[in-house]
Amino acid sequence: MDKTINLTLKVWRQAGPKAKGEFVTYNMDHVSTDSSFLEMLDVLNEKLVKQRKEPVAFDHDCREGICGMCSLYINGHPHGLDGETTTCQLHIRRFKNGETITVEPWRSAAFPVIKDLMVDRGAYDKIIQAGGFVSVNTGGVPDGNAIPISKVYADEAMDAASCIGCGACAAACKNGSAMLFVAAKVSQLALLPQGKVEAAHRAKVMVAKMDELGFGNCTNTGACEAECPKAISISHIARLNREFLVAKFKD
């Protein structure tokens, strides 16, 4: 029943943040087409451990496409070529027998390599810490149904909120811009009455933090939207720009 194929992997190995990295080639025979990309890497690592070599370091956790921990540039695309798919949900059946697959870490100035395929995405957390929230403390809030919210806005906010913070947008962008990530949060909260109060200020401080952390500018190439595993729309960037302008006018 189990169909298998043979693959050649060219994997980026780098001992540490300052070490020089290089591609190392591994032949993978009889990989089950039902296995996920990360399960194939598990098999590779198991093989390396058997050979008493160090396994390839890569980030991963839920393996259900929701935690945002997995990354990887696969054949030149963040999370591989499959649309709306995280690396952990990418399956080997999408590859051809005999294919060579190049596996690299995110390449972005703001995401330095920690080891092999693992990068530091702490910059995304810092952007959220700058203003990606509604300033309410626990307790003392109104009833959940006190303010009706149009289903249309609630659904659009939900679409923006599906961002998993994986970093694919910045990694895909030739300018290394985090605009889609920032826009998704700004847009989600601006669409809801609870977040509207601080919307302009939020846009301003989050963009300022993004610039400070070394992310590039947005030039509307749309690469982020195309590569986003959750299909977050760049229309949210328009909403971010609107809030940003409002903030500038207020200054």
Partner 1 sequence: MANKQASAQVDETKIDAKIPAGPLAEKWSNYKAHQKLVNPANKRRLEIIVVGTGLAGASAAASLAELGFNVLNFCIQDSPRRAHSIAAQGGINAAKNYQNDGDSVYRLFYDTIKGGDYRAREANVYRLAEVSNSIIDQCVAQGVPFAREYGGLLDNRSFGGAQVSRTFYAKGQTGQQLLLGAYSALSRQIGKGSVKLFARHEMLDVVVVEGRARGIIARNLVTGKIERFFAHAVVVGTGGYGNAFFLSTNAMTSNASAAVQMYKKGAYFANPAYAQIHPTCIPVHGDFQSKLTLMSESLRNDGRIWVPKKKEDAEAIRLGKKKATDLKENERDYYLERRYPAFGNLVPRDVASRAAKERCDAGFGVGNTGLAVYLDFSSSIERLGEDTIRERYGNLFQMYEKIVDENPYKTPMMIYPAIHYTMGGVWVDYELQTSVKGLFCIGEANFSDHGANRLGASALMQGLADGYFVLPYTIQNYLADQIQVPRMSIDLPEFTESEKAVHAKIEKIMKIQGDKSVDSIHRELGLVMWDFVGMGRNTAGLQTALEKIKAIRHEFWTKVYVPGVSADLNMELEKALRVADFIEIGELMARDALMREESCGGHFREEYQTPEGEALRNDDEFSFASCWKFNGEGEEPILLKEALEYEFVNRQQRNYKA
Q: How far is the CB of 119 from partner 1 (least distance, A)?
A: 9
Which residue number, 107 or 175, has a Cβ lying nearer to partner 1? 107
162 binds partner 1 (CB under 8 A): yes
189 binds partner 1 (CB under 8 A): yes
235 binds partner 1 (CB under 8 A): no
Which residues inside 101-140 make contact with partner 1, applying CB under 8 A?
114-115, 118, 120-122, 124-125, 128-139
Which residues inside 164-183 make contact with partner 1, applying CB under 8 A?
164-165
Pair of tokens at residue 153 = 């806005």
36 binds partner 1 (CB under 8 A): yes
213 binds partner 1 (CB under 8 A): no
67 binds partner 1 (CB under 8 A): yes
Residue from 5, 39, 241, 246 touching partner 1 (CB under 8 A): that is 39
Residue from 19, 23, 61, 219 touching partner 1 (CB under 8 A): that is 61
72 binds partner 1 (CB under 8 A): no
Which residue number, 115 or 236, has a Cβ lying nearer to partner 1? 115
